[in-house]
A and B are shown apart, each in its own frame.
Chain A
Amino acid sequence: MGAYGIKQVRGLRRRMAAVLAVRKGLMFLIGWCFLWGLGVLVLRQWAGVDRGFLLWGLAGGVPALAAGWVFSRASVPAESAFRAALDAMGGHGGLLMASGETDVGDWQGRIGPVRAPAVRWRFARPVGVLAVSAAFVAACLLLPDRYVAPAQPPAIPVERQVGQLSREIDALAKERVMEARQAESLKEKLAAVSKEAAVADPVKAWQALDHVEETVASAAKAAAQERTRQAEQAGRCEALGKALQQAGGGMDAQQLAEAMGELAKLANQAAKDNPDLQQALSRELSQACSSGKLSPEQVAQLTKAMSEAKDSACQSMAALAEAGLVDAESLSACTGAGEVDAQKLGEMLARGSAGVDEGSDGDSGEGVGQEGAASLTQMLDDASAGAPGRGAPTRGRGDAAMTWTKGTEPAGEAFKEQSLPPGAAASLRESKRVGISLGEHAKPTGPAAGSGGALGGAQAGGGAANVQNILPRHRGAVERYFDRTTP
């Protein structure tokens, strides 16, 4: 086969393939540049990636050009097409094409020289677009950091809550309301919340804070109740001790023994509820309390210990209040808990009479017993500053016992007769008594009511909300109104 002009054909095809590869590569490069620029913006904005690292995107140009070369191969025409183009452009009358398919023999000399044409590519536009894309990449890379600073997740203002809770936990730990290990655990949890609140789920952070706050508040509440109870117990013991010291000489032996026993019992209970007080009491004093036999010296020691225990409870309560764990009302309740008028109690004990109030109120004490511990307890209650039933909101607690005066006598009370009006009497003559009611006649409701007639269920006023019921005393007037025979 005489492949005349094969060299020119293949050369032209190579040049065309190169041009098409460059052209396609340029297109891919343009696309890559725009993608790269967008990637730079995104990575700088959202991930805070360093610009130096993003320069590695330049290496993406090589695969882009390679992809262009690969994809351009399919668009390169076949050799026969180039031969046809050379034939047509050179005016060879089909001989050049025929020479690629068959032996043209003597005609080969008449074909003449074959000069390949130039491959022309109007590259101004794609190069311009490439320049624009490169400028875009450069702009994305050179953009100042302040314009593409990584977006911080919205921070949650938990520092104040965390600090407050931390102080509260410290206060609880200091006042030995909470164990050190539990306090440390809670503080670690707070630290974790403070750290995660900036990046994690804000709802989760708030829930964790609420949980810690609830735990702290619960502990504080329990501590406040405990301190108040301790202060009350210590205060009552202290008052009783002082009263015994004051009235000890005027009391008979039995009353004094009973009072001593009651004091010992109260002291035992207070010591049992207050470990600090238990430690503060000496062994002999504890044994005396347990046996219920206290000497005057021991009473004095016990009174002093109780006073100190109450002060300690109040100080602890004050510390909790200062930390914001206890409100002022609770602190006031603790401070006033167990306050008993020792002098008054002493006088009560000296008189041997429990609950006889000599004051102006004079409405209590009648039902109080006269013997034993119950009597002493009643005296303590009566002598306390917040004793119930003083007749006014500011004079004693509200949980006063009910006192009954003389009741109403039902016997001898006659029913007051009353004459009915004439209309009512007339209606009563025509009526049949089925019963006596004190109130208005109850209109029957339901299916049984007014079930007959075409107007059954009809209401006056065309179904108005105001249903007019005819009372028995109006019945006569209504009948007269509808009596047609009357002129």
Chain B
Amino acid sequence: MENRQGQEEILSPPQLAPAVAIMTGALEQLDAILLGRTALHRLVLAGIVSRGHVLLEGLPGVGKTALIRALGEILNLQFRRVQFTPDLMPSDILGSHILQGSSDGRREMTFQPGPVFTNILLADEINRASPKTQSALLEAMQERSVTLMGATRALPDPFFVMASQNPIELEGTYPLPEAQLDRFLFKLNVSQADVDVLERIITTRRRGEPPPASVRVSPEQLAGVLAVMDRIYLPRAVCRYIARLVAASHADGAEAPDIVRKYVSYGGSPRAAIALAEASRAMALLAGRPSVGFEDVRAVAEPVLNHRLILNYTARFDRVGPHAVVEALLAGVDETGMNLPPDVALTGGAGGPA
């Protein structure tokens, strides 16, 4: 049997409970600050717990920046916002060396950190920056470090990039390359609020300002949550399901559904499988469970895979999006892997958590 690091034993209820309580509190606080976005909040929080970066896509004014600002406030982490513009340079984000005179009269190059040296970086309208500037974030997002003039500097821990982009007004924008997209754990679509939510916002929020956060997570608490997160148990059957799901996202996969074979040029990468596993763990933690179930995988499958599937032109002509492809994937791949004949099935089944 292969060595499964961190998987030897499962968390006990007392070990899990504090982390669950912290995350539940943070989630409730987010729901209180931003109305009607419970599912989105859950996914964003799962992304944070998974140490992943999140790309928020939505129209202006739907609350993307407010969400990230509230998250930084709740998690009590350093927060910086960079408005990405076409003339933004990499040094504007990463920092630069400047010549400074010391007290003893000598002059030396001193590193001036950029806004990336923070815990939460809000890259607002990231697709408006040039590819060169966008690429400046590659090392920061993956390695969580910055290398300038031969010197590598680690970024604060934890480090999250919360990027937003506008799906309209695409003139003068630079779509994120696949390599950069792949570094985002989630790509979340922030939709319009419905009537009830809008009514609540208008009636409860003066000038739309959200209330200040009443619950703040300390760095120690966050570190504890992240430590617990690492011990969430991932059963082999779930691992297998994730692997088969990602393999089936390729057109030449053995279990690839017809829609994948027809519309997908490139499927999910191994990084997608890792992201699925980590995000599933986070979802299990948010659900208060010490192990990952198939429902956790299904819950994060779309935000993990939708920006990693590269569809062909046929899909564009037929107006088939990643959402439909991921749905077909989830419907087509048997999670248990039993591969029963079509005329044999398990029916009924009962029982459940006490």
Query: Which of B7, B234, B237 counts the most chain A CB atoms within 10 A?
Result: B237
Query: Which of B284, B287, B345, B350 counts the most chain A CB atoms within 10 A?
Result: B350
Contact with B along A87-108 (1 / 0, CB 8 A): 1111111110110111111110
Q: Which of B7, B345, B350 contacts A102 (CB 8 A)?
A: B7
Knowing A89-B346, A112-B354 touch, does A98 contact B291 (C-beta < 8 A)? yes
* CB closest residue in chain B, given A77: B338
Contact with A along B331-354 (1 / 0, CB 8 A): 000011111110111111111111
Q: What's the dominant secondary structure at chain B's contact region? A: loop
A105 and B291 CA atoms in complex are apart in Å by: 13
A117 and B346 CA atoms in complex are apart in Å by: 6
User: B152 within 8 Å of A by Cβ?
Assistant: no
A23 and B344 CA atoms in complex are apart in Å by: 9
Contact status A94-B346, CB under 8 Å: no
* CB closest residue in chain B, given A114: B351
- Inside 8 A of B345's CB, which chain A residues have their CB? 119-120
Contact status A85-B338, CB under 8 Å: yes
- Inside 8 A of A111's CB, which chain B residues have their CB? 353-354
Q: How many residues of B contact A (CB 8 A)?
A: 42
Contact status B238-A92, CB under 8 Å: no
Closest chain A CB from B288 CB (angstroms): 9
Q: Which of A80, A93, A103, A120 contacts B287 (CB 8 A)?
A: A93
Within 8 A of A (CB), among B303-354: 335-341, 343-354
- Inside 8 A of B295's CB, which chain A residues have their CB? 88, 91, 93
Q: Which of B9, B238, B354 contacts A94 (CB 8 A)?
A: B238
- Inside 8 A of B8's CB, which chain A residues have their CB? 102
Contact status B293-A88, CB under 8 Å: yes
Closest chain A CB from B236 CB (angstroms): 6
Contact status A94-B284, CB under 8 Å: yes
Query: Which of A84, A105, A119 counts the most chain B CB atoms within 10 A?
Result: A84
Query: Which of A12, A93, A100, A122 counts the most chain B CB atoms within 10 A?
Result: A93
Contact status A90-B235, CB under 8 Å: no
User: B294 within 8 Å of A by Cβ?
Assistant: yes
User: B12 within 8 Å of A by Cβ?
Assistant: yes
Knowing A102-B10, A112-B351 touch, does A83 contact B237 (C-beta < 8 A)? yes
Q: Which of A75, A94, A122 contacts B293 (CB 8 A)?
A: A94
Contact status A88-B336, CB under 8 Å: yes
User: B289 within 8 Å of A by Cβ?
Assistant: yes
- Inside 8 A of A12's CB, which chain B residues have their CB? 346
- Inside 8 A of A125's CB, which chain B residues have their CB? 343
Q: How many residues of A contact B (CB 8 A)?
A: 50
Knowing A112-B352, A113-B351 touch, does A85 contact B344 (C-beta < 8 A)? no
User: B55 within 8 Å of A by Cβ?
Assistant: no
Closest chain B CB from A276 CB (angstroms): 97
A63 and B236 CA atoms in complex are apart in Å by: 38
Contact status B289-A95, CB under 8 Å: yes
User: B52 within 8 Å of A by Cβ?
Assistant: no
Contact status A112-B353, CB under 8 Å: yes
Contact status B351-A84, CB under 8 Å: no
Query: Which of B12, B291, B344, B347 counts the most chain A CB atoms within 10 A?
Result: B291
Contact with B along A286-305 (1 / 0, CB 8 A): 00000000000000000000
Contact status A106-B284, CB under 8 Å: no
A472 and B348 CA atoms in complex are apart in Å by: 127
User: A82 within 8 Å of B by Cβ?
Assistant: yes
Within 8 A of B (CB), among A320-350: none
Closest chain B CB from A278 CB (angstroms): 101
- Inside 8 A of A81's CB, which chain B residues have their CB? 237, 336-338
A82 and B336 CA atoms in complex are apart in Å by: 7
Q: What's the dominant secondary structure at chain A's contact region? A: helix
- Inside 8 A of B241's CB, which chain A residues have their CB? 84
- Inside 8 A of A156's CB, which chain B residues have their CB? none
Contact status A85-B336, CB under 8 Å: yes
A75 and B353 CA atoms in complex are apart in Å by: 31
- Inside 8 A of B348's CB, which chain A residues have their CB? 117-118
Q: Which of B287, B347, B351, B353 contacts A118 (CB 8 A)?
A: B347
Query: Which of A82, A92, A109, A114 counts the most chain B CB atoms within 10 A?
Result: A92
Contact status B237-A97, CB under 8 Å: yes
Contact with A along B192-235 (1 / 0, CB 8 A): 00000000000000000000000000000000000000000111
Knowing A23-B344, A94-B292, A119-B346 touch, does A105 contact B237 (C-beta < 8 A)? no
Q: Which of B233, B292, B293, B353 contacts A110 (CB 8 A)?
A: B353
User: A86 within 8 Å of B by Cβ?
Assistant: yes
- Inside 8 A of B353's CB, which chain A residues have their CB? 91-93, 95, 110-112
User: A19 within 8 Å of B by Cβ?
Assistant: yes
A110 and B13 CA atoms in complex are apart in Å by: 10
Q: Which of B10, B237, B349, B354 contacts A104 (CB 8 A)?
A: B10
User: B296 within 8 Å of A by Cβ?
Assistant: yes
A261 and B13 CA atoms in complex are apart in Å by: 153
User: B267 within 8 Å of A by Cβ?
Assistant: no
Query: Which of B10, B341, B347 counts the most chain A CB atoms within 10 A?
Result: B10
Contact status A115-B236, CB under 8 Å: no
Contact status A105-B10, CB under 8 Å: yes
Q: Which of B13, B235, B350 contacts A107 (CB 8 A)?
A: B13
- Inside 8 A of B234's CB, which chain A residues have their CB? 94
Closest chain B CB from A121 CB (angstroms): 5
Contact status B347-A93, CB under 8 Å: no
Contact status A91-B352, CB under 8 Å: yes
Within 8 A of B (CB), among A40-93: 75, 77, 80-93
* CB closest residue in chain A, given B7: A102
Knowing A81-B337, A85-B338, A97-B291 touch, does A122 contact B351 (C-beta < 8 A)? no
A392 and B126 CA atoms in complex are apart in Å by: 138
Contact status B344-A94, CB under 8 Å: no
Closest chain B CB from A115 CB (angstroms): 4
User: A116 within 8 Å of B by Cβ?
Assistant: yes
User: B72 within 8 Å of A by Cβ?
Assistant: no
Within 8 A of A (CB), among B166-183: none
User: B257 within 8 Å of A by Cβ?
Assistant: no
User: B47 within 8 Å of A by Cβ?
Assistant: no
Contact with A along B48-81 (1 / 0, CB 8 A): 0000000000000000000000000000000000
Contact status A80-B236, CB under 8 Å: yes
Further pairs besides A92-B352, A115-B350: 5, Cβ < 8 Å: A85-B349, A110-B13, A112-B353, A117-B348, A120-B344
10 interchain pairs, CB-CB under 8 A: A23-B344, A91-B293, A95-B353, A101-B235, A102-B9, A117-B346, A119-B345, A120-B345, A120-B347, A126-B343
